[in-house]
Structure 1
């Protein structure tokens, strides 16, 4: 059996250099856009990835009209085994600027505060980022203080690309058919809207979009959107006594009555769900509140919707002439509902991490991934670590050594499937 770990001891990793290039390409997605992809600039990275894949000899690499990048690394073994898909998303979050990212490498980290030079008020402190305690001696990449870094999820993109390079350079390392999928618009919840699973043609998938090295995430939130549309009574403010019922004030009272010490993002952690108002708009006559509802137990989402209805009706007691409409919309579901029936894809991932010298940890995600939807579309797809930390912020960081371990894990994982034949 080929000793993959020994090969990696002499391997020249490309993930860091690729990552430094990718983060300088602005790929921020736009939640207010109706186009697909939501921003054309996401295709700028897609074009680079297709070119790099072709340079590696992957002639199947291409980008479609929606900005999805597909590629197939053919099997190098005789027996027929399940195809695997490795997936990462190209876009960065709308929450923080991704334009003109200036990546900085802090070599041989020794626990010091990382002061980002373009805005010295942005400081990455060990006391606030406890995972840094496990990074002593590592090389930490940050942005310069004005933007996010884009490790979410360009670290995953770079790690997958490095794995492809490894397979090309080491054709003796066994693997079955490998599909590569890079998606747009994950950050705005539309990362799988136009994915072509016939092109992917895999039995199992793995998103490379997790945090701490060694983490394997088999569970996500279940998620609904919830909208309250309010129709108030508008009157001239000079003659409004006893007549006006302001939709703005109704909306404000509803938000004010939301639970604060529970069912709120600010007061929940671990397996606790929440109700979160994300946007409010309107006038005296009409107003709208948009919420996201999150819990690991899907049935809880209906309870949260009912609670919002109860709060609204309580407020409307004092506004007898106003009207309200509710709309609850499914967004994604906890992928563990499906993955529980596919234990091998989790067991193989844990074994791959062990072979890479890591201690695997099964985790739940307080959020969602492309893998959530892919799983329910028929492609069981847990989430592997990419080394990303402090997502969507100017304090975002990643360790180069963690990125290398992610690449190793990907290669080991494909080899395990080749060994087992299933």
Structure 2
């Protein structure tokens, strides 16, 4: 199976499917259709009934092969890759039996090393797919796509494995936060589902951040610096002042576990106008609300020193902690936990320090935890995939379909 995984992952990652946050279409880029259409053809070749809508949501069904009243289980992955780094001309490299030594990435000066990425210790001896240093890999989330496709291929070629009705979905634009925005839960028609969009071996995640974005706009007054006294208002300095009033330790690089943060993603502007783009994250809903309130308080405090209220802020919620919905459906977690135990996979249920489509889908009525894919260092040139762990993820998918039968068959 490992060679099949390598060939399929190579085929998918070399298709550029980068999403675009500046676009107002769905999918946000036409090139996502290239992979969606390929998947539609391959699913049809498996003998599955497919349904793809005009917004790029590809659904497929593997019908039950058992005469029993079972819940329908779904598996999801997104086809788009991050807009944060180059995603064109992806040239994957295979490292056999990784020995733990630094990996030179192509002809670049970039080196994939345990000194910087200590979690790579966990994949020593594995077959790895890495980049050539000039692009991201796109294993987020094409590894998840591969795992679902390989699991379907295995199930369709092994009819002796009994399973209920299985739904799969391949979706656009997860990397720009819009993955579930046009997802039709009723049309998907699944009782519960799993996103194959995690990272390291053993992850089984059902808690995520509450998330919002904030755009802070600072309006200045630009006059000649020679006559600026008591007249100039420097929007750049207003932005610096705003950011300095946030707690310095509550940033991504200084937090972990359940700790929330403010993350200044981007700052643009000049004396006349400067914008700061933040994302706000917290697992606790009360703390999440306090974080948003704090931004507004800072804005108001600065504005009291000016006549024209030079700072404006727009805050938009993005998604919420899916744990609040999944906790009411414990079977959705109990099923994969039993599968992990049967496969001797240690379950890591630490919260996601981010979000997946499952965060939004759970609030849309489809409980959707997240399962590991075997990849790490997403969204940049140091991204890699463990083919060995991907193989285990495929076993988990197949195992879940079997466990549903054992759990619900009368």
Q: TM-score range by the shorter chain?
A: over 0.9
How do 1:23-38 residues align onto structure 2 when only pairs under 5 Å count?
23-38=13-28
Cα distance between partner residues in 2 of 1:210 and 1:23: 17
Q: Is the 8 A contact 1:16 1:403 kept in 2?
A: no
Q: 1:364 aligns with which of 325, 347, 351?
A: 351
Deviates more, 1:240-249 or 1:412-421: 240-249
1:279 and 2:257 are equivalent in the alignment:
no
Tell me the residue number matched to 1:229: 217
2:302 counterpart of 1:315: yes
**TM-score normalised by the chain length of structure 2:** 0.95
TM-aligned CA deviation for residue 105 of structure 1: 0.9
Is the 8 Å Cα contact of residues 28 and 98 (structure 1) preserved in structure 2? yes
Cα deviation for residue 111 of structure 1 reads: 1.4
Aligned with 1:349: secondary structure?
helix
1:271-297: CA deviations, max 9, x gaps? Answer: 110112223334444433222110000
Q: For 1:44, what is the secondary structure of its paired residue?
A: helix
Task: Identify which of 403, 406, 409 aligns with 1:419.
Answer: 406
Deviation at 1:236, TM superposition (A): 4.7
Which digits, 9 at most, give the CA deviation of each residue in 1:13-67, with x for residues without a partner? 7332211110000011111111111111011110111111111111x22432111
Asked if 1 retains the 8 angstrom alpha-carbon contact of 2:13 and 2:142, the reply is yes
- Out of 82, 95, 103, the residue aligned to residue 71 of structure 2 is 82
- Structure-2 separation of matches of 1:244 and 1:359: 60
Q: CA RMSD in A?
A: 1.8
Residue number in structure 2 paired with 1:163: 151
Counterparts of 2:84 and 2:273, CA distance in 1:
27
Identify the residue that residue 5 of structure 1 maps to in structure 2: none
Is contact 2:72-2:166 (8 Å) kept?
yes
Q: CA deviation at 1:354?
A: 2.1
1:103 aligns with 2:97: no
SS in 2 for 1:117: coil
Q: What are the ranges of 5 or more consecutive residues in structure 1 without an aligned counterpart?
A: 1-10
1:192 equivalent in alignment to 2:193? no
Residue 195 (structure 1) shift = 1.1
Contact (CA 8 Å) 2:299, 2:312: kept in 1 or not? no
Determine which of 332, 352, 361 is the counterpart of 2:339. Answer: 352
Select the residue among 368, 375, 378 that pairs with 1:388. Answer: 375
- Mapping of residues 241-390 of structure 1, within 5 Å: 241-260=229-248, 262-390=249-377
Equivalent residue of 2:197, what SS? Answer: strand
What's the CA shift for 1:299? 1.6
Residue 164 of structure 1 aligns to a residue in which SS?
Answer: helix
Offset, 1:225: 1.6
Q: TM-score, normalised by structure 1?
A: 0.92
Report if the CA contact (8 A) 1:116-1:144 is conserved: yes
- Listed one character per residue, the Cα deviations across residues 90-118 of structure 1 (whole Å, up to 9, x for unaligned) are 11111111111111110111212111123
Residue 153, structure 1, aligned to residue 141, structure 2 = yes
| TM superposition shift of 1:306 | 2.3
Shift of 1:198: 2.4
- Work out whether residues 228 and 326 of structure 1, in 8 Å CA contact, stay in contact via their aligned partners in 2: yes
- Matching of residues 114-153 of structure 1 within 5 Å: 114-119=103-108, 121-153=109-141
Find the counterpart in structure 1 of residue 44 from structure 2. Answer: 54
After superposing on structure 2, the runs of 4+ consecutive aligned residues of structure 1 that deviate more than 6 Å are none
SS at match of 1:241: coil
Q: Which residue of 1 aligns with 2:29?
A: 39
